[in-house]
């Protein structure tokens, strides 16, 4: 099920990133344990009363020239209108209502998108009175919050989740592999789509997906049905801010959520940059199968070590995605292109793989016999049993005497043993520890 997207919009310094960090706080803590994920997150996944959604802080889009601040918040607003299901429009009580708040409000208002108006920096009782002037913006009750104290966030989250769309029906049969191509502009995503399909099919076979203006391209190869997700979004071009990182990440988020397998396309000529990491990190967090596709391999001067060296670099940069295979190819010359779809198919199978409880427990018993759980203040973790509770990605719950005794390193150890036993190439797996009651 695709997670809905929530965007935070507002002028600089109202506290967007402070609130963003609070909203994804718990998740961040988990992810940060893993080396290789950078700290300056620009997206995250948040949960509220069992509803999961993606959050993006659209702040920090830089536009030069006169009226730069105003222009950049306009761009934020447009981006949010295009890509988000619910917009959190943030103002602040300290400085009160400003002209640029009113401008942004007009853009948001005309869009008809659900908007939740949050007034930050309501740090004390006196400030609660300051929120009344914001009624004039026309978005209903302003919600007073404080990023410093964390107050009002429950009300904000209630208002956001109330406005999220109902989950939509699955758009495709279960045997269709949904593939998203993501990556920075100019890495060759469109060329790769054309190369996969053969030029003539791109135009004729696009169908409108049920998700707003997404255009998906279905095709069949060797008896397997695939659909390329949101290939139209990829072709949208020409706006000055298209190159900004937030724009690409936000576009990619939606496609990733709808996909089973994500092709992280990297320009082989240029190597890896931080932006690649952010996008790939999102695919990982969202629990999707991933494949690194190093494109433009025709343009790289090679010797017998070039490929291995490049792969090593990918492994260094994406430590948290060691499961993802790497495919080198050229969309231009179609060199090695035929290697791609079999890898996609395999990753999709692993992503949907279901292991019997019996087999999982055999592996866990062996793992525990070789390397018993360490004791903590004289108490030892005891594992009762484990069972797979979900696919896409494979999710395993380990029932134990006391979850607080399960340390990150031991969980990692079990995960590695499970991976070694069942492969799971291409897909992240999730391990949860629960108390056996």
Residues that bind ligand GDP (CB under 6 A): 10, 12-18, 59, 120-121, 123, 146-148, 183, 185-191, 234, 295-296, 298-299, 330-332
SS (HEC) of 245-289: HHHHHHHHHHHHHHCCEEEEEEECCCCCCHHHHHHHHHHHHCCCE
| 327/381 with CB nearer ligand GDP | 327
| 19/289 with CB nearer ligand GDP | 19
Q: CA-CA distance, 390 to 385, in Å (whole number)?
A: 16
- Distance of closest approach, residue 89 Cβ to ligand GDP, in angstroms: 12
Alpha carbon separation from 165 to 37, 47, 86 (Å, rounded): 30, 15, 9
- 210 annotated ligand binder: no
- 339 annotated ligand binder: no
Name the packing angle between helices 68-83 and 245-258 (round to 10°): 10
Nearest CA-CA partner of 327 in 349, 312, 311, 347: 311
- In angstroms and rounded to an integer, the radius of gyration of the C-alpha atoms of the chain is 23
Q: CA-CA distance, 187 to 348, in Å (whole number)?
A: 23
- Distance of closest approach, residue 318 Cβ to ligand GDP, in angstroms: 19
Residue nearest to ligand GDP (CB): 147
- 25 annotated ligand binder: no
- Distance of closest approach, residue 156 Cβ to ligand GDP, in angstroms: 12
What count of other Cβ atoms lies within 10 Å of the Cβ of residue 404?
Answer: 11
- Distance of closest approach, residue 15 Cβ to ligand GDP, in angstroms: 3
- Distance of closest approach, residue 434 Cβ to ligand GDP, in angstroms: 35
- 222 annotated ligand binder: no
Q: CA-CA distance, 372 to 190, in Å (whole number)?
A: 50
| 298/425 with CB nearer ligand GDP | 298
Concatenated DSSP letters for 384-431?
A: EEEEEEETTTTEEEEEES-GGG--HHHHHHHHHHHHHHH--TT---EE
- Distance of closest approach, residue 18 Cβ to ligand GDP, in angstroms: 3
| 93/159 with CB nearer ligand GDP | 93
- 290 annotated ligand binder: no
| 187/261 with CB nearer ligand GDP | 187
- Distance of closest approach, residue 220 Cβ to ligand GDP, in angstroms: 23
- 122 annotated ligand binder: yes
| 11/346 with CB nearer ligand GDP | 11
- 67 annotated ligand binder: no
- Segment holding 201, helix H or strand E: helix 199-204
- Segment holding 55, helix H or strand E: strand 51-57
- 296 annotated ligand binder: yes
| 80/400 with CB nearer ligand GDP | 80
In the annotated binding site for GTP, the residues are: 10-17, 57-61, 120-123, 183-190, 230-234, 295-298
């Amino acid at each position: 099920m695709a997670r809905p997207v929530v965007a935070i919009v507002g002028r600089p310094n109202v506290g967007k990133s402070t609130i963003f960090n609070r909203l994804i706080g718990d998740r961040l803590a988990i992810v940060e344990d893993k080396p290789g994920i950078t700290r300056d997150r620009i997206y995250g996944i948040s949960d509220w009363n069992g509803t999961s959604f993606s959050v993006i802080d659209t702040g920090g889009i830089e536009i030069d020239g006169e009226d730069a601040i105003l222009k950049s918040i306009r761009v934020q607003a447009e981006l949010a209108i295009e890509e988000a299901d619910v917009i959190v429009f943030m103002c602040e009580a300290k400085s009160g209502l400003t002209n640029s708040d009113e401008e942004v409000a007009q853009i948001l208002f005309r869009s008809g998108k659900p908007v939740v108006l949050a007034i930050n920096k309501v740090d004390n009782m006196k400030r609660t009175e300051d929120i009344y002037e914001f009624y004039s913006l026309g978005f209903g009750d302003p919600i007073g919050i404080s990023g410093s104290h964390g107050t009002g966030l429950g009300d904000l989250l209630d208002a956001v989740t109330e406005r999220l769309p109902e989950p939509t029906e699955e758009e495709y049969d279960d045997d269709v592999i949904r593939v998203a191509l993501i990556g920075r502009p100019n890495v060759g995503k469109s060329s790769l789509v054309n190369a996969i399909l053969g030029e003539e099919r791109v135009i004729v076979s696009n169908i409108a997906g049920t998700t707003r203006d997404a255009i998906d391209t279905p095709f069949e190869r060797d008896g397997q049905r695939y659909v390329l997700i949101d290939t139209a979004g990829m072709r949208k071009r020409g706006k000055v801010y298209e190159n900004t990182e937030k724009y690409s990440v936000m576009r990619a988020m939606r496609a990733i959520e709808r996909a089973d397998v994500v092709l992280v396309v990297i320009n082989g000529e240029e190597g890896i940059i931080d932006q690649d990491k952010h996008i790939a990190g999102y695919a990982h967090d969202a629990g999707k199968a991933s494949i690194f596709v190093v494109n433009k391999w025709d343009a790289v001067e090679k010797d017998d070590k070039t490929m291995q060296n490049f792969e090593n670099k990918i492994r260094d940069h994406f430590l948290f995605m060691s499961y993802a295979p790497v495919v080198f190819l050229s969309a231009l010359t179609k060199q090695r292109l035929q290697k791609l779809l079999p890898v996609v198919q395999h990753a999709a199978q692993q992503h949907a793989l279901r292991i019997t409880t019996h087999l999982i427990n055999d592996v866990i018993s062996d793992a525990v016999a070789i390397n018993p759980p360490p004791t903590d203040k004289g108490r030892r973790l005891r594992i009762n049993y484990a069972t797979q509770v979900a696919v896409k990605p494979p999710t395993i719950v380990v029932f134990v005497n006391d979850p607080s005794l399960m340390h990150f390193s031991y969980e990692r150890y079990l995960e590695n043993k499970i991976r070694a036993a069942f492969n799971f190439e291409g897909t992240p797996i999730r391990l949860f520890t629960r108390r056996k009651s």
